Amino acid sequence: MKKTIEYVVLVGILILISSCKQVNEKDPNKDDVESSEAVAETTELVALANDSLSSTVPLEITVSTQPPTLESLQHDFDVFSWESFIALNWPANEDGTPNTNMVIGQDQNALTVWQSWKSSRDIFLKNGAQPKGWNEDVPPPVVCDHLNGSDFSKAQISLTQVGKTPNVLDESGEPFQTGPLIDQNGQYTRYEIFTNQSMFDYIVDNKLYNKKGQAIYNKDADFPSSSTSNDKVGAIMVKSAWVKMGGKYDSSKFHTTMALVYNNPEEQSGVKPACELVEVGLVGFHIAHKTEDEPQWVWSTFEHKDNVPTQNETADKDFYNFYDANSDMEVNEPPARPWNPAIPYTTPSQIERVIPITDDAKALNDKYHALLENAVPGSVWANYDLISTQWPTDATSVSDPTGKPAPSFLANTTLETYIQGTVEQTSSSCIACHNNASMTSGRFSDFTYLLQRAQTKK
């Protein structure tokens, strides 16, 4: 009964919000009094609607069950993941703060909070130069200059990578060069990594953006943690995966954005630099968040719900983003080399999920999908599933600096496509993998490989 009332109220609120917006759009010159009344009303209504969907990033896990169990804590971490996903994908103001006059999903293509963060290419500049300030724009690659025109401002992010963080993986050894993911249009999936201001400031303040600065620093990195005691947000990283819209992809089902898709010659030998401005849709999303109680960070991963079927289960959807029921391609096999994102067409990858999503995570996905739908009917964000959350079960363990993560393995089919599974030291485990991350100085880099991208200062 309570849920029904909430639903009715929410729908009503959204109709009112919509009405307010329409009024403003029809007559932007309304007098100030009426306008401020409308804003006040909208703010109040949005606050009500946001009762379950908040633009505030959670700072720590809320333990729901005493005494906690492995299962109950997994649930709590999964809730944390969903709350984080909603807060980070909240529509943003121009300065990157959440626009609390809007509800998540209200504008499918609105720039989200995390999309205003700094990308790795903004931080680790050629010649080890100091990055521009947090609020300063970084120019796109020169090869993109020919696109500079009226549409250029639509390109909110520059997607430069293909494959699993290859710039870093080139330095980490053969096992991680696992290959690109090809979409159903025969195009390479693209990736980008972002850091929030807390993480960015730490890198800049300690001059960790170049090799010389890291050498002088000469100690382990220790990014700020989110803390409920001082109400501060600590370091957060986001890695996103995108496919070009068009062809077999219906853009109405994705969170989309205009992006500069850049073929990076530093990534694969033989690749010629090229740049195009295209609409891309979000298919994969990692969040890594360092909190006071979880110094190994909390690793949340989301995917578009139509990405792939699960191994040994019926593939019952008409269309998958990375699977074709009529394909005779080997499942979960990377394309043959050479890998070159400039190739006009590559046979699409045939991907299945190896580790099923748990029933509890599925139920939680259903709950949040309903909340998102209630807030904005047809919300594009209801098309995204939490796959799972990896967290340290014994964060202070002296014998295991990974903190004994649970679950032991976690993979996103768009980001760890070819290393899914449960083989020790081989299959994807966020914490176990990132526990090996170091700076160019060899010192521990606090679970991020980004610092490996620092270049020599000249």
Partner 1 sequence: MNTMQQFTGLSAVLTGFDSSIIAPTIDQINVKEEYLAAWTEKTGTALATSILDKYATLASDSNNSSQMIGEQMLAATNGADFVLACRKLIFLWYSGAWPTLSADGTSTSSVLLSTKSYNAGLVWQVMQSHPMGSSNYRYGYWSEAPAPLNQYLGKSNS
Chain positions contacting partner 1, by CB under 8 A:
67-70, 73, 393-394, 398-402, 404-408, 424-425, 432, 435-438, 442-444
Q: Least distance to partner 1 from the beta carbon of 321, Å?
A: 31
Phi, psi (deg, nearest 5) at residue 105: 95, -10
Check the CA dihedral 83-86-90-95 and report its sign.
positive
Decide whether 175 or 338 has the Cβ nearer to partner 1: 175
Q: How many residues does the chain have?
A: 458
Residue 25 buriedness (CB in 10 A; 0-12 / 13-18 / 19+): exposed
Q: Which amino acid is at 79?
A: V
On whether the CB atoms of residues 283 and 321 are closer than 8 A, the answer is: yes
Q: What residues are paired with 302 via a beta bridge?
A: 285, 386
Q: What angle do CA 195, 211, 197 make, to 5 degrees?
A: 20
Alpha carbons 292 and 81: distance in angstroms, whole number: 16
- From the CB of 240, what's the least distance to partner 1, in Å? 27
86: which 2 tokens?
């909603």
Nearer to partner 1, 40 or 216 (CB): 216
CB 177 within 8 A of CB 277: no
Those residues whose C-beta lies under 8 Å from the C-beta of residue 149, and which sit 6 or more positions away, are: none
CB of 425 to partner 1, least distance (A): 5
Least distance (Å) between residue 67 CB and partner 1: 7
Residue whose C-alpha is closest to residue 114's, from 206, 209, 199 = 199
Instruction: Output the smallest distance, CB 355 to partner 1, in A.
Output: 14
What minimum distance in Å lies between the beta carbon of 178 and partner 1? Answer: 20
For the chain, give the longest Cα–Cα distance. 67
Structure-derived torsion over alpha carbons of residues 429, 433, 435, 441, reported in degrees to the nearest 10: -170
Answer whether 225's CB lies under 8 Å from 296's CB.
Answer: no
Smallest gap from Cβ 220 to partner 1, in A, equals 9
Tokens read off for 5: 């009332």
Q: Considering beta carbons, is residue 246 or 401 the nearer one to partner 1?
A: 401
CB of 445 to partner 1, least distance (A): 9
